[in-house]
Amino acid sequence: MEQWWWYFWFSIISLFGASLGNWIHRWRNPKCNGKLPPGSMGLPLLGETLSFFVTSNSIDIHPFVAQRMKRYGSLFKTSLAGRPVVVSLDPDFNYFVLQQEDKLVELYYMDSVANGDFHKYFRRVILSHFGHEPVKHKLLSQFEDVINHELQDWSKLPQVDLKHQTASILFNMASKILMSCVPEENLGHDLSDILRGLMTFPVYFPGTTFYKCLKYQIDLRFPNSNTIRKRALKLTSGVLEERMNLYPTDKGDLLEKMVGDMGNEAGLTKQFVSHALFGLLIATIETIAPTITLAAKYLLDNPSALQHLT
């Protein structure tokens, strides 16, 4: 009898071990209709998510990307947040993929976006106001006037926090392009803090950076104020309400276009428009301000390059 129980438990453990091994094998070797690039799927379920979200203060490529690029090349597979993904660092290949939408590839969109057609609409509207042609024929001269004015003001200061000051300039300029207004309160530097908090491991638990970003990111200059995120959304929602009451106007900005399309595009709600304006403000600040700051640093570190450009 004891021998029977021993065989029984041995069979159960063997079956469990074989199933676990098979599951791990399938995890590390996901199915694919074609040939997957080299890479690692990391730990089961977690994948390489923890390594991906490790913060880095380096101005170089993020260690997660740099290490895998050195090991596997510019195209590699991994698993992030429970999803198998292929990461491409090849600009030519990325351009090819974007050009093949609805042909050879199917692009994935966030759950909050109703469908690909809506995403195309949103991208088209943004490019019509921030694309190459608007920058060349309209925005470049505006940028130059603002920059010259700001440089004159900076010349009177003992020192300048370049990233902070640039973020403030970009907030005003983006607000004017998007909504034809310059808010009384400049949230430029604060909005970049929000993005730093969001680019962390998304664990919504008291004490984590992500939790503090969403719940307790208070502007220390105003201890009784609401969170920066809520203040920014209150700003965009207020401007939207005012524009809807005055529509149509002759402003011709992005907000005017979206207000006019709210009854024609599925998913284009008041909430979406206010959140879209909020997101575009963050995207404008957090992509350009660090680039300008690094450009200034590299030029100051290389006097010969600065002299050549001058």
Q: Where are the domains of the chain?
A: 35-112, 115-307
Q: Are 76 and 37 in contact (CB under 8 A)?
A: yes
- Superfamily name and number for 115-307: Cytochrome P450 (1.10.630.10)
Burial of 227 by CB count in 10 Å (0-12 exposed, 13-18 middle, 19+ buried)?
Answer: middle
The phi and psi torsions of 157 (rounded to 5 degrees) equal -95, 150
Which has the minimum average pLDDT: 22-36, 165-179, 277-291? 22-36
- Quote the CA–CA distance of 87 and 89 in Å, as a whole number: 7
Q: Can you list the positions of beta strands (E) in the chain?
A: 75-80, 83-88
Q: Are 75 and 66 in contact (CB under 8 A)?
A: no
**Distances from the Cα of 5 to the Cα of 1, 13, 25, 131, angstroms:** 7, 12, 30, 73
Give the contacts of 82 (CB within 8 A, at least 6 positions apart).
45, 47, 49
* Tally of CA atoms within 13 A in the half-sphere of 269 that contains its CB: 7
Q: Judge whether residue 71 has pLDDT over 90.
A: yes
Highest mean pLDDT among 31-45, 99-113, 242-256: 242-256
What pLDDT score was predicted for residue 72? Answer: 93
Give the N- to C-terminal CA distance of the chain in Å, as an integer: 92
Q: Report the SS3 class of residue 80.
A: strand
Which has the minimum average pLDDT: 156-160, 168-172, 217-221, 253-257? 217-221
Q: What is the mean pLDDT of residues 180-197?
A: 76
Higher pLDDT, 16 or 38: 38
DSSP string across 163-180: HHHHHHHHHHHHHHHHHS
pLDDT range class, residue 218, cuts 50, 70, 90 = very low
Q: Judge whether residue 1 has pLDDT over 60.
A: no
What pLDDT score was predicted for residue 186? Answer: 82
Q: Report the SS3 class of residue 73.
A: coil
| Joined tokens for residue 257 | 């276009």
| Joined tokens for residue 300 | 């100051």
Neighbours of 78 (CB within 10 A): 22
Q: What is the mean pLDDT of residues 249-269?
A: 85
Q: What is the pLDDT of residues 72-114, one digit of tens each?
A: 999 999 998 888 888 999 999 888 887 776 677 766 655 545 5
